[in-house]
Structure 1
Amino acid sequence: IILTSMHKYVARIHVVQANDLLSLNSPTTCLQLFVFPETTFLGVTAYQNDKITQLKNRQQPLRKGISRER
């Protein structure tokens, strides 16, 4: 998943009908769409909360450009 900073996102689930996995590449009929407004969030590039920054650094220890934890 690729996000853009300062854009709002919300989780949605599309239920589609398909005869098999290969038919998912062709146009399908959307039977139901579920939107979850309580999952709305804003994409960011920097965290204001030091605990969140530390958690992110622990979860991605090999990411390039990590500064030392505060």
Structure 2
Amino acid sequence: ITPRRNCLQHELMEALQMLKFSLRYGVSTLNFMAGTSKSDEIQALEGISRDNSTLPDDILTYLTHLMGNMGI
């Protein structure tokens, strides 16, 4: 990294390197709309809803784990 680029944050430098690599090796265009269709959003929301509505098999162990994380 040159001194001029030394002031860039680590995450920004990594993102720029990934962008440079994708442009150099085969990805000629970036599609920022990929995955934003209505059906994609519905699938994502259904997945979140499904994950939130499932209960663990052993409730007592789950509650003990939660209370341990909260410091109770």
TM-score (norm. length: structure 2): 0.27
User: Larger strand proportion, structure 1 or 2?
Assistant: 1
More helix by proportion, 1 or 2? 2
Structure with more relative contact order (C-alpha pairs < 8 Å, separation 6 or more) = 1
